[in-house]
Amino acid sequence: MRYAVIGIGVAGVSALEAIRSVDKTGDIVMIAEDPNGYYSRPGLAYYLTGELDGGTLYPRTKEHFESLNFRYVKGRVTRILRAEHALEVDQKTKISYDRLLIAVGSMAVPLDVPGAKLEGVFKLDHMEDAKRIVKSAKRGKTAVVVGGGITALEIVEGLVTHGMKVHYLLRGDRYWSNVLDEHESRVVEDRLQAEGVKLHFHSGLTEILGKNNRVSGIRLKDGSTIKCDLVAYAIGIRPRLKLAQEAGLTIERGIFVNEHLQTNDPEIYAAGDVAQAYDPLTERSILDSLWTPAREQGYAAGLNMVGKRTAYLKSAPFNATRLAGLTTTIIGAVGGGQDDDLVGIARGDSETWRVMPDALVAQSGFDINRLRLMVGENRLIGAVIMGDQTLSMPLQKIIVGNLNISSIHDKLLAPDAKIADVIADFWTNLKNKP
Ligand SMILES: Cc1cc2nc3c(=O)[nH]c(=O)nc-3n(C[C@H](O)[C@H](O)[C@H](O)COP(=O)(O)OP(=O)(O)OC[C@H]3O[C@@H](n4cnc5c(N)ncnc54)[C@H](O)[C@@H]3O)c2cc1C
């Protein structure tokens, strides 16, 4: 059997590992264009701040890859020739396959304003972008960052670490309003302001101004201008669909796949950011843009490719991240989803969050250590944990494991409930049960 995998992201690599765990002798070829191979994209935030060097970003060793015994082709797949069961690489070489996985991920939505092509304008899709940003960041100079989700904030923090004066433009009246509540947004904003970041609410960029083909400033929609040396944006992502589109595969918002990650062509699978996967539990087709679903989809796709029928079952969304230096875990359904202009921007955003059932909200705010729980009838639907992470593991287990919390339901919703203590007691009792 000849397997081909396009993309050396987490979905592609997980598929490779799954294939090799079953088929020890089949011929596997992986084709990818990223010059840096496999690395943690979420880790790029820490690369920007200088906390992780390039080396630590690589989750797999050379020895591990060698043990998988596959052929690696560095190049760009330019066409999928379905009738021939072959791929065209860099418009010349042909590679044949019996089973193919498309795991080409997503890319930043480009900034569509005059001046967007000037030198000094950046996005953050991959390691090369991160390197470019670090190289251009200069102490004492000014940057403008555009975008409402985690990636934009990561860029802001990276630039601040490099000593830049940062203007951060937000379209709405607060940060990441489709996931965070008002209090949480303000916690993040206050911390940014304390670091010297200038926040501009209700503002949009209409033009990037340049001198000698380099960024010299920006114009806002109210006509005012800000002088700056660098502009960075993270205004959304979109799946890389061109290859699948040209090959005539069924596409909606992503490549349409069933719960076995199989496209309308039974020899071709898709996984990760590029795939819109059917979830048998909710009976919906979901486009995720998160590391864990990409890994799980890739692994399930690999097993299906070797003939081991495995359904991909989406688990509750889980994202551990850092917002303005504050460790934040977001589990399950937490947002209201009123702010449509942020859809697709938020890393850590999952569509499940926007169709959440009616939920009661219990809140407990202790300055920066904030815990917010979404309490359903018999179970917890979601949680936001900012700062102290003691409860994050128990909450993950309770929410993802769908545990019955009816015994503490009323306690959680009682006026002035000490919800952290209630959860801690519940968890201790559970663990101590014989
Ligand atoms: C800055 C940043 C921060 C993030 N933070 C988080 C986070 O905190 N939490 C979280 O859960 N997720 C986060 N994500 C999202 C997460 O990284 C993605 O969901 C995940 O990497 C998707 O994996 P993938 O394998 O589908 O695609 P990718 O990792 O994008 O890999 C796609 C691969 O395909 C290759 N490729 C594309 N087109 C071709 C072609 N035509 N020919 C050959 N090769 C091709 C690319 O070079 C690449 O190797 C972040 C992403 C970024 C960029």
Q: In the numeric block, which tokens belong to residue 377?
A: 């009838």
Q: Which atom of ligand 1 is nearest to the CA of 45?
A: 1
Residue 16 CA, ligand 1 centroid: distance in Å = 16
Other Cβ atoms less than 10 A from the Cβ of 416: the count is 6
Residues with CB under 6 A from ligand 1: 6-12, 31-34, 41-42, 44-45, 76-77, 103-105, 124-125, 150-151, 240, 243, 272-273, 289-292, 294, 319, 321, 347-348
For atom 44 of ligand 1, the residue with the nearest CA is 32
Residue 348 CA, ligand 1 centroid: distance in Å = 13
Query: 371 has which bridge partners?
Result: 364, 385
Q: In what order do the strands lie in the sheet with 326-332?
A: 318-323, 326-332, 380-386, 369-375, 360-366
pLDDT at residue 284, as a whole number? 83
Q: What is the mean pLDDT of the chain?
A: 88
Q: Which atom of ligand 1 is nearest to the CA of 321?
A: 8
b/e per residue 360-383 (b: at least 16 CB within 10 A): eebebeeeebbbbbbbbeebbbbb
Instruction: Tell the residue number behind the tokens 């769908």, with chain if given.
Output: 402
pLDDT at residue 336, as a whole number? 52
Whole-angstrom distance, CA of residue 106 vs CA of residue 129: 14
From first to last of the 434 residues of the chain, give the pLDDT tens digit: 999 999 999 999 999 999 999 999 999 999 999 999 999 998 898 899 988 777 778 888 899 999 999 999 999 999 999 999 999 999 999 999 999 999 999 999 999 999 999 999 999 999 999 999 999 999 999 999 999 888 999 999 999 999 999 999 999 999 998 888 888 899 999 999 999 999 999 999 999 999 999 999 999 999 999 999 999 999 999 999 999 999 999 999 999 999 999 999 999 999 999 999 998 877 888 888 888 899 999 999 999 999 999 999 887 778 888 898 888 888 887 765 433 322 222 233 333 333 333 333 444 444 456 788 888 878 888 888 888 888 888 998 998 888 999 999 888 888 777 888 888 889 988 888 77
Q: In the numeric block, which tokens belong to residue 13?
A: 């690599």
pLDDT at residue 361, as a whole number? 41
Q: Which atom of ligand 1 is nearest to the CA of 41?
A: 17
For a ligand 1 pocket test, name from 8, 14, 31, 41 the mutation site with the most ligand atoms within 8 angstroms of its C-beta: 41
Residue 373 CA, ligand 1 centroid: distance in Å = 30
Residue 9 CA, ligand 1 centroid: distance in Å = 6
Type of residue numbered 344? G
Q: Which atom of ligand 1 is nearest to the CA of 106?
A: 30
Whole-angstrom distance, CA of residue 404 vs CA of residue 377: 9
Whole-angstrom distance, CA of residue 128 vs CA of residue 239: 19
pLDDT at residue 369, as a whole number? 66
For atom 52 of ligand 1, the residue with the nearest CA is 41
Cβ distance 370 to 388 under 8 Å?
A: no
For atom 15 of ligand 1, the residue with the nearest CA is 290
Neighbouring residues of 224: CB distance < 8 A, sequence distance ≥ 6: none
Residue 298 CA, ligand 1 centroid: distance in Å = 12
In angstroms, how far is the first alpha carbon of the chain from the final one? 49
pLDDT at residue 335, as a whole number? 66
For atom 4 of ligand 1, the residue with the nearest CA is 42
What is the bridge-based pairing of β-strands 99-102 and 268-270?
parallel
Q: Which atom of ligand 1 is nearest to the CA of 10?
A: 25
Residue 361 CA, ligand 1 centroid: distance in Å = 33
pLDDT at residue 367, as a whole number? 46
Q: Which atom of ligand 1 is nearest to the CA of 34?
A: 47
